[in-house]
Amino acid sequence: AQKVTQAQTEISVVEKEDVTLDCVYETRDTTYYLFWYKQPPSGELVFLIRRNSFDEQNEISGRYSWNFQKSTSSFNFTITASQVVDSAVYFCALSEAFRTGSARQLTFGSGTQLTVLP
């Protein structure tokens, strides 16, 4: 069975600070996909990144960066120079590899509420 753990329930930082959101996952598959979604106060789920299990290169997109470490089953998300608009709930999610006839539903972590104070 798959499991995603986001141990940080709430994080509060002051604007311009860097913040890292932790994500630890469990899966029996050797091929899988990891995701991060953002849920702002308006409620929609915004896709941020998808990473497959064969690609352990860190990724940077503007102020966002992701650190994937298969050895520790972690997929952490760092926001550099945080801004008030980054305040949201952030979800890490896991999807199994495709098997013929199977589905790829997402297993979500419990989310981390990030509050960036001005």
Looking at beta carbons only, is 50 or 63 nearer to another protein?
50
Looking at beta carbons only, is 79 or 93 nearer to another protein?
93
Tell me which residues in 31-90 interact with another protein (CB under 8 A): 33, 37, 43-45, 47, 50, 52
Which residue type occupies 69? Q
In whole angstroms, give the CA distance from residue 21 to residue 55. Answer: 20
Q: Taking phi first (over 0 means left), then psi (-120 to 50 degrees means alpha), and beta for anything else, what does residue 111 get?
A: left
CB of 14 to another protein, least distance (A): 28
In whole angstroms, give the CA distance from residue 11 to residue 39. Answer: 15
Residues near another protein (CB under 8 A) are 33, 37, 43-45, 47, 50, 52, 91, 95, 98-99, 101-111
